[in-house]
Amino acid sequence: MIKVVTERGVVYLMGLVTHDEGDAATAVVSQTSGVMKVVALFQYLNAPLPLAPQASSAVAVPPPASAPVAAPVSPAQTSPLPAD
- 28-82 residue pLDDT tens: 999 999 999 999 999 998 755 556 555 555 555 555 555 455 555 555 555 555 5
User: In this structure, is residue 20 part of a structural domain?
Assistant: yes
Number of domains forming the structure of the chain: 1
Enter the pTM of the model.
0.54
Q: What share of the chain is helix, strand, coil (3-state, %, to 5)?
A: 20, 25, 50
User: In this structure, is residue 36 part of a structural domain?
Assistant: yes
User: In this structure, is residue 37 part of a structural domain?
Assistant: yes
Which domain CATH number covers 33? 3.30.1340.30
User: In this structure, is residue 43 part of a structural domain?
Assistant: yes
User: In this structure, is residue 66 part of a structural domain?
Assistant: no
- Per the structure, the complete domain to which residue 13 belongs is given by 1-48
Mean pLDDT of 6-35: 94
- Say how far apart CA 42 and CA 18 lie, in whole Å: 9
Mean pLDDT of 8-31: 94
User: In this structure, is residue 28 part of a structural domain?
Assistant: yes
